[in-house]
Amino acid sequence: MALHFSLYLTAALLLAAHFLRSGNLLLLALCLAAPALFLYRKRSSLLVLQGLAYCAAGTWITVAIQLAQTRQHLGQSWTVAVIILGTVAALTLMAGLLLNSRAITHRYPDR
Protein backbone atom coordinates (compact mmCIF):
# COMPACT_ATOMS: atom_id res chain seq x y z
CA MET A 1 0.00 0.00 0.00
CA ALA A 2 2.86 2.38 0.75
CA LEU A 3 4.15 1.67 -2.76
CA HIS A 4 0.93 3.05 -4.25
CA PHE A 5 1.17 6.29 -2.30
CA SER A 6 4.92 6.65 -2.79
CA LEU A 7 4.71 6.11 -6.53
CA TYR A 8 1.90 8.65 -6.86
CA LEU A 9 3.76 11.18 -4.71
CA THR A 10 6.91 10.70 -6.80
CA ALA A 11 4.95 11.25 -10.00
CA ALA A 12 3.32 14.38 -8.56
CA LEU A 13 6.67 15.79 -7.45
CA LEU A 14 8.26 15.14 -10.84
CA LEU A 15 5.43 16.94 -12.61
CA ALA A 16 5.60 19.77 -10.06
CA ALA A 17 9.31 20.17 -10.85
CA HIS A 18 8.46 20.34 -14.55
CA PHE A 19 5.92 23.10 -13.96
CA LEU A 20 8.32 24.94 -11.64
CA ARG A 21 10.93 24.92 -14.40
CA SER A 22 8.40 26.28 -16.90
CA GLY A 23 7.21 28.92 -14.43
CA ASN A 24 3.60 27.72 -14.19
CA LEU A 25 2.93 28.27 -10.49
CA LEU A 26 -0.78 27.39 -10.66
CA LEU A 27 -0.10 23.88 -12.00
CA LEU A 28 2.83 23.56 -9.61
CA ALA A 29 0.48 24.19 -6.69
CA LEU A 30 -2.06 21.70 -8.10
CA CYS A 31 0.61 19.00 -8.37
CA LEU A 32 1.75 19.60 -4.82
CA ALA A 33 -1.81 19.65 -3.44
CA ALA A 34 -3.20 16.66 -5.37
CA PRO A 35 -1.76 13.93 -3.09
CA ALA A 36 -3.73 15.46 -0.21
CA LEU A 37 -6.82 13.89 -1.82
CA PHE A 38 -5.62 10.58 -0.39
CA LEU A 39 -6.77 11.91 2.98
CA TYR A 40 -10.36 12.21 1.70
CA ARG A 41 -11.51 8.60 1.85
CA LYS A 42 -14.09 8.55 -0.91
CA ARG A 43 -14.04 6.73 -4.22
CA SER A 44 -14.47 10.03 -6.04
CA SER A 45 -11.11 11.21 -4.72
CA LEU A 46 -9.46 8.14 -6.26
CA LEU A 47 -11.11 8.89 -9.58
CA VAL A 48 -9.81 12.45 -9.50
CA LEU A 49 -6.31 11.24 -8.60
CA GLN A 50 -6.41 8.70 -11.43
CA GLY A 51 -7.56 11.32 -13.91
CA LEU A 52 -4.75 13.62 -12.84
CA ALA A 53 -2.20 10.81 -13.21
CA TYR A 54 -3.42 9.98 -16.71
CA CYS A 55 -3.32 13.65 -17.71
CA ALA A 56 0.18 13.89 -16.28
CA ALA A 57 1.31 10.87 -18.32
CA GLY A 58 -0.12 12.55 -21.40
CA THR A 59 1.79 15.70 -20.51
CA TRP A 60 5.05 13.77 -20.30
CA ILE A 61 4.44 12.14 -23.68
CA THR A 62 3.69 15.54 -25.21
CA VAL A 63 6.86 17.01 -23.70
CA ALA A 64 8.89 14.06 -25.00
CA ILE A 65 7.56 14.54 -28.53
CA GLN A 66 8.19 18.28 -28.47
CA LEU A 67 11.70 17.79 -27.09
CA ALA A 68 12.52 15.16 -29.72
CA GLN A 69 11.30 17.42 -32.53
CA THR A 70 13.25 20.40 -31.21
CA ARG A 71 16.45 18.43 -30.79
CA GLN A 72 16.12 16.82 -34.21
CA HIS A 73 15.65 20.24 -35.75
CA LEU A 74 18.80 21.46 -34.00
CA GLY A 75 20.75 18.34 -34.96
CA GLN A 76 21.21 17.26 -31.36
CA SER A 77 20.88 13.83 -29.77
CA TRP A 78 17.33 13.18 -28.60
CA THR A 79 17.07 9.47 -27.82
CA VAL A 80 18.25 9.58 -24.19
CA ALA A 81 15.88 12.43 -23.35
CA VAL A 82 12.94 10.58 -24.91
CA ILE A 83 13.83 7.39 -23.04
CA ILE A 84 13.95 9.29 -19.74
CA LEU A 85 10.68 11.12 -20.36
CA GLY A 86 9.05 7.90 -21.58
CA THR A 87 10.09 6.20 -18.36
CA VAL A 88 8.64 9.07 -16.32
CA ALA A 89 5.40 8.82 -18.34
CA ALA A 90 5.25 5.07 -17.69
CA LEU A 91 5.86 5.60 -13.96
CA THR A 92 3.08 8.19 -13.86
CA LEU A 93 0.71 5.92 -15.77
CA MET A 94 1.55 3.08 -13.38
CA ALA A 95 0.79 5.36 -10.41
CA GLY A 96 -2.69 5.95 -11.81
CA LEU A 97 -3.29 2.30 -12.66
CA LEU A 98 -2.26 1.12 -9.19
CA LEU A 99 -5.10 3.17 -7.73
CA ASN A 100 -7.41 0.45 -9.12
CA SER A 101 -5.86 -2.23 -6.92
CA ARG A 102 -8.02 -4.07 -4.43
CA ALA A 103 -5.99 -2.80 -1.47
CA ILE A 104 -6.68 0.81 -2.41
CA THR A 105 -10.31 0.51 -3.49
CA HIS A 106 -11.12 -1.39 -0.29
CA ARG A 107 -10.01 1.61 1.78
CA TYR A 108 -12.01 4.06 -0.34
CA PRO A 109 -15.70 3.06 -0.26
CA ASP A 110 -18.27 4.06 -2.88
CA ARG A 111 -20.36 5.92 -0.32
What is the residue-level pLDDT of the chain in tens, covering all 111 positions? 788 899 999 999 999 999 999 999 999 999 999 999 999 989 999 999 999 999 999 999 999 999 999 999 999 999 999 999 999 999 999 999 999 988 888 888 876
pLDDT, residue 38, reads: 94
pLDDT, residue 111, reads: 67
Is 25 buried (19+), middle (13-18) or exposed (0-12) by CB count in 10 A?
A: exposed
Overall pTM > 0.85: yes
